[in-house]
Amino acid sequence: MTGTVRRTGPAPFDMLRASRAGRGTTRTRRVSVLAAAVFVLFAVHARAQTPADTAAAAFKDDVHAAAGLTCVACHTSGVAGAYAAPARTSVAPLCARCHSDAAFMRRFDPQVRIDQFLQYQTSTHGRRMAAGETRVATCTDCHSAHGVRRVTDPRSPVAPLNVTMTCARCHGDPVRMKAFGREATPPADWAASVHAAALLKRGDTSAPTCAACHGSHGATPPGVTAVANVCAQCHLREAELFRASPKKAIFDALGEAECLVCHRNHRIEPPSDARVGLQAGAVCADCHDDSGESAMTIKQVRLDLDRLSAAVSDADALLARAEQAGRPVDEGRLALQAAREHQVQSRALVHAFAVAPFSKTAEEGLGAARRAREAGDAAMREWRVRRTGLGVATLLVLGFLATLWFTIRRLPDPPPG
């Protein structure tokens, strides 16, 4: 890695491992542990100039080496084995000599992008670097200097499973972030989010990481009016509902960042019906009290959510008992699946902030749940009838056997031979 800044900021390896294992800690403790644990890691990490033997070893597995490039492609001064590291302010322009050249890059990949440097120049990192601030990120901070790998390589520091740890080297370092007037909590907050759980626990590589929301080469914090557009890249249905809701104009007038008001940005919690309502801990209660038309809407939505959830759980339990009794409940399971789909749709319709579209879908879900329960009831009735019939038949057989036994006992003994 090139540059003149000593790397002491944390990369949240422990944080992400803790997230995988499901160990919960407070935000303060997590950040403190990260800063302390990774200090040692980066104290021995690359400095202004990587030792020649280490650089040479790393370069053997480098994408540039595979393309036939050598040291002098980047190091234009020095002698073999004693090359000087480029100044941090010249790293991005140096990389752009090749990566912004369409004719050159097409030799290796006909579809490769060549706008990375242009994007970098518009980013917060690029603008600060152009102003002479060398503590901000440049190409080698994210991709490394020697041993650069393709993004699709799981060993790459910018691969989906690694990119947040890479960003956290700087953005998780309280000392470094304080110099720029920023907090160092985003990496730890993200690690406790539903997005991190999807990526780290379930292996869903489509789950958002830093670059998904902030961009990569053109990384910039989304503006207040852009947040909903960023979230809509994945949550399109919810975004469309919100844009058509009365909340859109209200949030715009207040200068609020739409989605962030209820969901926050990095520490996004899993969706839960408990977030809707006026009780303590509910998101709605942060702005609304128990009065007015809004309160009536909130109460009705929460009531329908609870009714649908209870109906789905009740039908599921009944169908499970029927299955344990050996009764087929295929139709009931299909109805229950429909009820669950309506439940998901109902939770999305919360973003309409109105009773009408929500209640219609919730009622359809309740109807499907009732059909599932009816199928379960029918299966259990049939099971009880069969059990009763089996009991009666068993008694008849036992009665017959008893009668036969008494009859045989009453037969006279055979005459003596």
HEC string of the chain equals: CCCCCCCCCCCCHHHHHHHHHCCCCCHHHHHHHHHHHHHHHHHCCCCCCCCHHHHHHHHCCCHHHHCCCCHHHCCCCEECCEECCCCHHHHHHHHHHHHCCHHHHCCCCCCCCCCHHHHHHHCHHHHHHHCCCCCCCCHHHHHCCCCCCCCCCCCCCCCCCCHHHHHHHHHCCHHHHHCCCCCCCHHHHHHCCHHHHHHHHCCCCCCCCHHHHHCCCCCCCCCHHHHHHHHCCCCHHHHHHHHCCHHHHHHHHHCCCCHHHHHCCCCCCCCCHHHCCCCCCCCHHHCCCCCHHHHHHHHHHHHHHHHHHHHHHHHHHHHHHHHHCCCCCHHHHHHHHHHHHHHHHHHHHHHHCCHHHHHHHHHHHHHHHHHHHHHHHHHHHHHHHHHHHHHHHHHHHHHHHHHHHHHHHHCCCCCCC
Which residues make beta-bridge pairs with 83?
Answer: 78
The per-residue pLDDT for 349 is: 95
Least confident piece of the model among 129-138, 215-224, 262-271? 215-224
Q: Can you read off the two tokens belonging to residue 242?
A: 């919100």
Query: In terms of pLDDT, which residue wins out, 404 or 190?
Result: 190
The per-residue pLDDT for 6 is: 32
Please give the radius of gyration of the chain, using alpha carbons only, rounded to the nearest integer.
33
The per-residue pLDDT for 245 is: 92
Contact indicator for 268, 195 with CB cutoff of 8 Å: yes
In the chain, what are the domain boundaries?
13-221, 223-270, 293-410
Q: What is the mean pLDDT of the chain?
A: 85
pLDDT, average across residues 292-315? 95
The per-residue pLDDT for 377 is: 95
Which of the four pLDDT bands, split at 50, 70 and 90, describes residue 24? Answer: very low
pLDDT, average across residues 331-345? 96
Please give the backbone phi and psi of residue 295, each rounded to the nearest 5 degrees, phi first. Answer: -60, -40
Residue 15: is its pLDDT beyond 70? no
**For residues 152, 155, 161 and 166, what is the CA-based torsion angle, rounded to 10 degrees?**
-110
Q: Can you read off the two tokens belonging to residue 108?
A: 């290796």
- d(C-alpha 38, C-alpha 32), whole Å: 10
Q: Can you read off the two tokens belonging to residue 57?
A: 């070893």
| pLDDT digit string, tens, across residues 53-105 | 788 899 999 999 999 999 989 987 766 667 888 999 999 999 999 999 999 99
> Cα dist. 230→204, 236, 255, 319 in Å?
19, 10, 17, 41
Q: Which amino acid is at 406?
A: F
| pLDDT digit string, tens, across residues 402-412 | 998 888 888 88
pLDDT, average across residues 384-388? 88
Question: Tokens 């090359």 sit at which residue?
Answer: 83
- Top CATH class of 293-410 equals mainly alpha
Query: In 10 A of CB 315, how many CB atoms?
Result: 26
The model's pTM is: 0.74
The per-residue pLDDT for 56 is: 87
Contact indicator for 55, 90 with CB cutoff of 8 Å: no
Which of the four pLDDT bands, split at 50, 70 and 90, describes residue 52? Answer: low
Residue 144: is its pLDDT beyond 80? yes
Which of the four pLDDT bands, split at 50, 70 and 90, describes residue 224? Answer: low
Please give the backbone phi and psi of residue 206, each rounded to the nearest 5 degrees, phi first. Answer: -85, -5
The per-residue pLDDT for 40 is: 34
Residue 298: is its pLDDT beyond 70? yes
Query: In 10 A of CB 373, how many CB atoms?
Result: 22
The per-residue pLDDT for 417 is: 60
Q: Which amino acid is at 145?
A: A
Distance, first Cα to last Cα, the chain: 113
Q: Which amino acid is at 48?
A: A
Half-sphere exposure of 44 (CA within 13 A, CB side): 5
The per-residue pLDDT for 29 is: 45
Contact indicator for 322, 380 with CB cutoff of 8 Å: yes
Query: In 10 A of CB 23, how many CB atoms?
Result: 10
